Amino acid sequence: MSRAKKIKILVPIIFLLFVGAFARHRYLAHQIIQSGKLNDKAMDEISGIAASGINKDVYYVHNDSGDTSRFFAISPDGKLISTLYYKGGVKERLGAIDCEDIAVGPGPLRNKSYVYVGDIGDNQAVRKYLTIYRVQEQPGWTKGGNIDVTAVPIHLKYPDGPRDAETLMVDPIQKLFYIIAKRTDTVRVYTAPLGYKPNDTVTMTYRTKLFFKGYKPFKWITAGDISKDGTQVLVKSYEKIYYWKRKDNEPVWQTLQRTPAEPNYQQEKQGEAISFTPDGRGFYTVSEGVFSPIYYYKVP
Contact 289, 37 (CB under 8 A): no
Contact 251, 174 (CB under 8 A): yes
pLDDT value of residue 14: 42
Contact 46, 286 (CB under 8 A): yes
11 phi/psi in degrees, rounded to 5: -60, -50
Contact 155, 200 (CB under 8 A): yes
Provide the greatest CA pair distance for the chain. 82
Say how far apart CA 171 and CA 175 lie, in whole Å.
5
Say how far apart CA 99 and CA 254 lie, in whole Å.
27
pLDDT value of residue 1: 47
pLDDT greater than 50 at residue 168: yes
For residues 255-284, average pLDDT: 97
Is 286 exposed, middle or buried (CB count within 10 Å of its CB: 0-12, 13-18, 19+)? buried
Provide the pLDDT confidence category of residue 28 given band limits of 50, 70 and 90. Answer: very low
pTM of the entire predicted model: 0.89
Provide the pLDDT confidence category of residue 8 given band limits of 50, 70 and 90. Answer: low
pLDDT greater than 60 at residue 128: yes
74 phi/psi in degrees, rounded to 5: -130, 165
Among 245, 230, 225, 137, which Cα is nearest to 178's? 225
Question: What's the pLDDT tens digit per position in 217-255?
Answer: 999 999 999 999 999 999 999 999 999 999 998 999 999
Report the range of poorest mean pLDDT among 14-23, 59-68, 165-174, 262-271.
14-23
For residues 68-74, average pLDDT: 97
Say how far apart CA 97 and CA 130 lie, in whole Å.
9
Report the range of poorest mean pLDDT among 23-32, 47-56, 177-186, 259-268.
23-32
Provide the pLDDT confidence category of residue 27 given band limits of 50, 70 and 90. Answer: very low
Residue 37: CB partners within 8 Å, gap ≥ 6?
77, 78, 291, 292, 293, 294
Say how far apart CA 120 and CA 128 lie, in whole Å.
11
Tell me whether the omega of the peptide bond preceding residue 162 falls within 30 degrees of 0, making it cis. no
pLDDT greater than 90 at residue 292: yes
84: number of Cβ within 10 Å: 23
pLDDT greater than 90 at residue 291: yes
Q: Which amino acid is at 168?
A: L
Question: What's the pLDDT tens digit per position in 131-151?
Answer: 999 999 999 999 999 999 999
Question: What percent of the chain is predicted at pLDDT more than 70?
Answer: 90
- Helix, strand, or coil (residue 23): helix
Say how far apart CA 263 and CA 161 lie, in whole Å.
33
Question: What percent of the chain is predicted at pLDDT more than 90?
Answer: 85
Mean pLDDT (the chain) is 91
Contact 36, 79 (CB under 8 A): yes
Among 117, 151, 106, which Cα is nearest to 49's? 117
For residues 41-61, average pLDDT: 98
The top-level CATH class assigned to 38-298 is mainly beta
Report the range of poorest mean pLDDT among 34-48, 89-103, 185-199, 213-227.
89-103
Contact 140, 194 (CB under 8 A): no
Cα 235 from chain centroid?
A: 7
